[in-house]
């Protein structure tokens, strides 16, 4: 396996937000980038979903369909926090 698998349970996600970003300026380019507490996984483009985690970290996931990705994550996050 090239990259270790990382699973983030819904209950650890505090906020989900689709947004535009500047890969070079904000994260130093494309790929797996950033310095804790902010890490980005991006390949191309300038749209993604920013996850705010309960441990104070932030994870930007690049996506050509950021709004749809955020909408798909929202129900799981809401359900995890309502129980």
Q: Is it the case that residue 1 has pLDDT exceeding 70?
A: no
Backbone angles phi, psi at 41, to 5 degrees: -115, 105
Please tell me the pTM assigned to this model. Answer: 0.89
Distance of CA 71 to the CA centre of its chain: 13
Mind listing the pLDDT tens digit for each residue in 13-33? Answer: 999 999 999 999 988 888 989
Backbone angles phi, psi at 77, to 5 degrees: -65, -45
Terminal alpha carbon distance of the chain: 35
Write out the H or E segment, with its range, that includes residue 48.
strand 47-53
Q: What residues does each domain of the chain span?
A: 12-82
């Amino acid at each position: 396996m090239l990259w270790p698998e990382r699973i983030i349970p819904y209950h650890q996600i505090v906020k989900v937000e689709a947004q535009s970003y500047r890969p070079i300026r904000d994260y130093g380019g494309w790929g797996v980038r950033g310095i804790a507490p902010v890490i980005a996984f991006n390949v191309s483009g300038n749209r993604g979903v920013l996850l705010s985690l309960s441990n104070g970290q932030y994870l930007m996931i690049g996506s050509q369909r950021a709004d749809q990705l955020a909408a798909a994550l929202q129900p799981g996050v809401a359900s995890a926090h309502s129980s």
